[in-house]
Amino acid sequence: MPRRSAVATETAGVQTWRQPPDLALTPILSHSLDAFCETGYHGTTVRDIARRVGITVPALYYHHQNKEAIFVALLDVSITRVRQLCEEALRDAGDDPAARFLNLVECLVLYMANSTKIAYLDHEFRVLSPEHRKSYSDKRRDVERLLLGTIQDGVDAGCFDVAAPADTARALLGMIQAVATWFQPGGRLSAHSVALRYLDIAAHTVGATPEVLRRVRGGARR
C-alpha cells in the first residue's frame, strides 16, 4: 500500500540549530501527536485520530499501517531532528571539547523546551514492539553517544573531571529530558534562559575547570 512521506517538505531558508524551523508535521501526525499527549498511547485509538483529522478510518489506513506505525513515525521525526540539530551544534563548536559539550547541552535543552509535546513522546517508547523499540533505542543511543563523546574528550583534554562518563551522560540526558515535562512555552522563563541555566548546571556536573565555568558564566563559549 503506498504511503506518503510522514513529514511535509520543509520550506527552504536559514536553518540554525538554535532556531530550527518548525517540524512541519502532516495533519495526521500533528493530530496524532495531540492525541498521544492528551490520552497516552494506549488511551488513543485510530478512530480518535481519524475523527481529529476529519477523515475516515480507511483514509487514515491509506497513509499509515496502524497506530504503532503513526507513533513510530512521530518518534522518528523527533529523534532524527534531534540528531541533525546536535550534529549542527557540534560542527558550529569547532574542535574545543568544552565548546562541543556546551553546544550539545544547549541544543538538547532548546529542543526539549521548544518541542515539549513531541519530545515528551519519548517517555512511552517502551510501548513499541521489539523491532521498532530496538530501532528507536539505537537512534537514541546515538545521541547519548554524541554527548558521551564530548564528555570523554573533555576528560582527556583535562577540562572536565568525571568519574564515570557513561553514567554522567545518561544522568545529564535524564536531567535535560525532564525539561520537556515542566517547561511552559510563553511562561516566566524563555527556552533561551533555561538553556543558559542548564549550561551552568551541566558544566558543574562534568566537573569543568574554573576557566570553563568562567566562560559559561560570562556567556563566552570559547
Distance of CA 52 to the CA centre of its chain: 25
205 binds a second copy (CB under 8 A): yes
206 binds a second copy (CB under 8 A): yes
137 binds a second copy (CB under 8 A): no
Closest approach of Cβ 40 to a second copy, in Å?
A: 4
Residue number with CB closer to a second copy (62 or 182) = 182
Residues in the interface with a second copy (CB under 8 A) total: 36
- All residues at 6 or more sequence positions from 4 whose CB lies less than 8 Å from its CB, including other chains: 26, 63
16 binds a second copy (CB under 8 A): no
164 binds a second copy (CB under 8 A): yes
Residue number with CB closer to a second copy (83 or 140) = 140
Residues near a second copy (CB under 8 A) are: 39-44, 123-124, 161-164, 167-168, 170-179, 181-182, 194, 197-198, 200-201, 204-207, 217
